[in-house]
Structure 1
Amino acid sequence: MLGFGADRLRADMNRLLALLFHQGVLDEQFLQLQQLQDDTSPNFVSEVVTIYFRESEKLLKNLRELLSDRDFSDYKKMGIHLNHFMGSSSSIGAKRVKNVCGAFRAASEQNNRLGCFRALELLEHEYCYLKNKLHEFLQMEQQRILGAGARYPIQN
């Protein structure tokens, strides 16, 4: 019975990933990240994604603070935060977040404050969607790992 549950869990994980790829939320870089996970580092993807989320929260906070300042004029500083966000998003395969960062950066390069506000709103939306879906995926992955490691004594 345990194998049936594991098969269902694996199928659910594959469906979720297929959806995220179809929606353009993730790209092939996420698959490459998964290939780096093995028996010696079974939580590799989870650890990398957790670091990504922690750093992204800081970057979003910094971007919000910059834009909330009435006297804001340091678009170059904003661009630095956006480049960092784009790079880290690209490294985990967060395609839509990376693309929104690019549009946000274009608005900042044009000193377009209203465009930056709109881009920040979209970035926060895409980031939240990604975070929710990856949390869902990682929970299934953790259940799969725990299930695979479960050993039950044979009953006579």
Structure 2
Amino acid sequence: MLGLGADLLWADMNRLLAFLFHQGVLDEQFLQLQQLQDETSPNFVSEVVNIYFHESEKLLRNLRGLLMEREFSDYKKMGIHLNQLMGSSSSIGAKRVTNVCLAFRAATEHNNRPGLDP
């Protein structure tokens, strides 16, 4: 019975991943990440994704803090945080996050405050 439950979970996960690829949320880099997982590190992907979420949360908190400043002018600092988020997103295949970072970074390069507002 445990085997059937595990099979159903795998099927659900595969459907979810297919949906995320179809929606452009993930790209082929995520598949390469999955290929690094093996019997010696069966939780590799989940560990990498957990680290990504933890670090991204910090970066997003920093970005939000910069955007909340009334007299925001530190576009360079904003660009540094965006580059970090973009790099880590790209490395795990988070395509949509990477694309949003590119757009935000373009706004920071032109010191375009309205382009940074949600």
Give, in whole Å, the separation in 1 of the partners of 2:4 and 2:52: 33
Letter in 2 for 1:45: V
**Equivalent position SS for 2:117:** helix
**Cα displacement string for residues 80-100 of structure 1 (whole angstroms, at most 9, x for unaligned residues):** 110110000000000000000
Aligned pair count reads 118
Deviation at 1:113, TM superposition (A): 1.0
**Which is greater in Rg?**
1
Deviation at 1:55, TM superposition (A): 0.7
Deviation at 1:72, TM superposition (A): 1.4
- Give identity over the alignment, percent: 81
TM-score by length of 1: 0.73
**Equivalent position SS for 1:25:** coil
Deviation at 1:4, TM superposition (A): 2.1
TM-score by length of 2: 0.95
User: Which sections of structure 2, spanning at least 5 residues, go unmatched?
Assistant: none
Give, in whole Å, the separation in 1 of the partners of 2:46 and 2:86: 19
Letter in 2 for 1:58: K
Give, in whole Å, the separation in 1 of the partners of 2:4 and 2:62: 46
* Number of the residue aligned with 2:74: 74
Give, in whole Å, the separation in 1 of the partners of 2:39 and 2:72: 49
Moved beyond 3 Å, runs of 4+: none
* Number of the residue aligned with 1:20: 20
